[in-house]
A and B are shown apart, each in its own frame.
Chain A
Amino acid sequence: MSTASTDKNLAHLADFHDEVPLVKGNLKFHDITEIVSSHTEKKTPFAWYGAFSLALAGLMLLLGMIAYLFWNGTGVWGLNNPVGWGYAIVNFVFWVGIGHAGTLISAILFLFRQQWRTAINRSAEAMTIFAVICALVFPTIHVGRVWAIYWTLPLPNQMGMWPQFKSPLLWDVFAVSTYFTVSLVFWYIGLVPDLATMRDRAKGKIRRLVLGVASMGWTGANRHWRNYEKAYLLLAALATPLVLSVHSVVSFDFAVSIVPGWHTTIFPPYFVAGAIFSGFAMVVTLLVIARKIYGIENIITVEHLEKMNIIILLTGTMVGFAYITEFFIAWYSGVQYEQYAFVNRMFGPYAWAYWTMMSCNLFFPQFFWFKKLRRNVTFMFIISIFVNIGMWFERFVITVTSLHRDYLPSSWDYYTPTAVDALTFVGTFGLFFTLFLLFLRFMPMVAIAEVKGVMPEADPHFYDHEGDGHHAEHAVEPSTQQ
């Protein structure tokens, strides 16, 4: 090798190392496999059982509340005229919103080659799927006659009837179910190489068989990787428009109606920004805890969290900007109903909810302008909780304050949720954490293969100058992904 080319290689490697490394602690390929897989292989920790029982209790609460609802009908909720959409719709939008970070991280950041996504995409996608499951509970139980829920699907039926294709509620059915399907497939495809890793490490016969089936005969062959990469890219391209479309369609549920406070063209982008905002906040909430407990702070580093906090800052500010734009447009429209709807939000009977939303979503994320604060794990955890609360209140403000005082002052009312409303919502956290804890226990919570791909070791020339004895001058270079 000539001196010139050696220098070039060295320069290239220097570039590679100049950036803050995505994986810290001087970990090697095998360490990543070891750290991530071991959590699924070791004996179940006592603390996991504790957390899981708590989550399971929440799930039982949810099932109990749903059974009570089915038996008695939707009268057990606080709904009445004029507020016909209460907690169920608020919670639906809340959970769907949370489900947006996963695909954004796995699809959009993938297409934009944001390599830092690799550490967090697996758990964010899992969170997405579980959040969408929680979201789907609500419209299902909200229909009242739940046994007729299949009417929302365009199936041939004895009624000779199609669903109402002109209704955004139907678009929602398609948007959310498509999103769920694509997210699930995307997540599973990404899991295949890691499941194969776990299969190869498996000790028990049953575990090996189960993982053998789940990893679909993956051998890590070049051909497998080619197909995998192609499928992953195509799915990313397919999922990308969904990130934008799903919450746009959810916003149509409101925007297509003529209720003042809902009938707004700004809703689709504003909802999408809010969804990404809340989704990232939830990822931060979950991962701050998970990385600590599972000891993967070298894989999900403070740099990763900081990047997410920057997105929280960005989208939070966008959402705040949308709040203010809504006010401007209400004033500028000259329509008294519009103007009243927004004045009523700020100073009406639900002003407390409005100002909770404003402070949690617009004000608190502004702290992330300070590098010190956005790298402070405790601080970001607190802010992420605030954002979760704020985004729930955003949906509450939009849904309830617009409905409780519309065109007819004679029917104005104050909506109060019942205990069943509140406990059902609490119950969905039980469902969510039941699924998430099962995921943490049985699945590789970090995309092992993908993290390896962004490590310095993945550089084909990594070993050129190490002189570690593994590689002679003319040896075949290691493959980028093992």
Chain B
Amino acid sequence: MPQIFPRKANILPHLTLAGSLAGGVFAILFIWYYFSPEYTDVGYAPEQPIEYSHRLHAGELGISCQYCHTNVKDAAHSNVPATQTCMNCHSQIRTESLKLLPVRESWATGKSIEWIKVHKLPDYAQFSHAVHTNNGVGCESCHGRIDQMEVVFQAEPLSMGWCLECHRAPEQYLRPDDEITTMGYEYSDDFVEQNLQRINAEDIQPPTNCSACHY
């Protein structure tokens, strides 16, 4: 009986073996990179109903984060400001601006501006802004350089592994209480020792057990 496969088919088993090895490595690297929140979530910058520039307000004008996000140190949820907050200034400044028309509309009708949430956590993960901002975690640590963002985007992966990086070694990330809202904070040379002292003195123990966040 003649052979089914030609002589050159002898290379197929070798190719298959090499192909599955290379394919396996490729699949791992592909998933590693493209399936990670660093790829899928970081950079999320939805178009907001108003072209509000954090770069202008927080950066150039130097308005503190807490001027608008007033609850950040008192509540689990850090609030998006009410239209009232915008109108504090904009009843005086740029009152004719077309870009600000929706703000004035909202002010006139009492209907909220529907800002789009950028930083999302899963429903089963509980997070408290108050706990973090009162224990030395800066805004910048999770939200990045808001003062340089024309449109706010997600700067960090916000994945569980990313949370744990800090929960397991808080001394690498904490900053003094009066620098919480600072953008572009420069760590001193001995910040780790200072943080360790503070962690000891204030007994800061970021939990790493499941029910710390999942309850």
For A164, the closest partner residue in chain B by CB is B210
- Tell me if B11 counts as interface (CB < 8 A to partner A): no
A209 near B164: Cβ-Cβ < 8 Å: no
- Tell me if B70 counts as interface (CB < 8 A to partner A): no
Residues of A within 8 A of B157 (CB): 158
- Tell me if B160 counts as interface (CB < 8 A to partner A): yes
A464 CB to nearest B CB, Å: 31
- Tell me if A161 counts as interface (CB < 8 A to partner B): yes
- Tell me if B5 counts as interface (CB < 8 A to partner A): yes
Interface size class of B (residues with CB under 8 A): 10 to 19
Query: B residues within 8 Å of A by Cβ?
Result: 1, 4-5, 13, 32, 36-37, 157, 159-162, 164-165
**Which residue in A159, A200, A217 is a CB contact (below 8 Å) of B159?**
A159
**Which residue in B1, B4, B5, B164 is a CB contact (below 8 Å) of A160?**
B164
Residues of B within 8 A of A160 (CB): 160-161, 164-165
B21 CB to nearest A CB, Å: 18
A200 near B1: Cβ-Cβ < 8 Å: yes
**Which residue in B1, B4, B13, B160 is a CB contact (below 8 Å) of A158?**
B160
Number of residues from A at the complex interface, CB < 8 A: 13
For chain A residues 130-165, which have a beta carbon within 8 Å of chain B?
156-161
Residues of A within 8 A of B1 (CB): 200
For B208, the closest partner residue in chain A by CB is A160
Residues of A within 8 A of B13 (CB): 216-217
A212 near B161: Cβ-Cβ < 8 Å: no
A158 near B5: Cβ-Cβ < 8 Å: no
Cα separation A156 to B160 with both chains bound (whole Å): 12
For chain A residues 155-180, which have a beta carbon within 8 Å of chain B?
156-161
B36 near A158: Cβ-Cβ < 8 Å: yes
For chain A residues 217-253, which have a beta carbon within 8 Å of chain B?
217
Residues of B within 8 A of A405 (CB): none
Cα separation A200 to B2 with both chains bound (whole Å): 10
Interchain pairs with CB closer than 8 A, number = 27
A422 CB to nearest B CB, Å: 31
Task: Sample 9 A-B pairs with CB under 8 A, ordered by A number.
Answer: A158-B36, A158-B157, A158-B159, A159-B161, A159-B164, A160-B161, A160-B164, A160-B165, A208-B4
**Which residue in A159, A212, A216 is a CB contact (below 8 Å) of B160?**
A159
Residues of B within 8 A of A452 (CB): none
Cα separation A231 to B36 with both chains bound (whole Å): 40
B37 near A158: Cβ-Cβ < 8 Å: yes
B5 near A161: Cβ-Cβ < 8 Å: no
- Tell me if A345 counts as interface (CB < 8 A to partner B): no
A212 near B4: Cβ-Cβ < 8 Å: yes
Residues of A within 8 A of B37 (CB): 158
Residues of A within 8 A of B32 (CB): 156
Residues of B within 8 A of A100 (CB): none
Residues of A within 8 A of B5 (CB): 212
Residues of A within 8 A of B161 (CB): 157-161
- Tell me if A199 counts as interface (CB < 8 A to partner B): yes
Q: Assuming A158-B36, A158-B37, is B4 touching A199 (CB within 8 A)?
A: yes
Cα separation A168 to B13 with both chains bound (whole Å): 39
Cα separation A160 to B213 with both chains bound (whole Å): 14
Residues of B within 8 A of A199 (CB): 4
B174 CB to nearest A CB, Å: 20
The 5 A-B pairs at the shortest CB distance, nearest first, are namely: A160-B161, A159-B160, A158-B159, A212-B4, A160-B164
Residues of A within 8 A of B4 (CB): 199, 208-209, 212
Cα separation A158 to B162 with both chains bound (whole Å): 7
Give 9 A-B pairs besides A158-B162, A160-B161, A160-B164 with Cβ atoms closer than 8 angstroms.
Answer: A156-B32, A158-B157, A158-B159, A159-B160, A159-B161, A159-B164, A212-B4, A216-B13, A217-B13
A94 CB to nearest B CB, Å: 31
For A208, the closest partner residue in chain B by CB is B4
Scoring B1, B4, B160 by chain A CB atoms within 10 A of each residue's CB, the highest score goes to B4
Residues of A within 8 A of B36 (CB): 158
For A216, the closest partner residue in chain B by CB is B13
For chain A residues 180-224, which have a beta carbon within 8 Å of chain B?
199-200, 208-209, 212, 216-217
A145 CB to nearest B CB, Å: 9
Residues of B within 8 A of A158 (CB): 36-37, 157, 159-162
Cα separation A161 to B161 with both chains bound (whole Å): 7
Scoring A158, A159, A200, A217 by chain B CB atoms within 10 A of each residue's CB, the highest score goes to A158
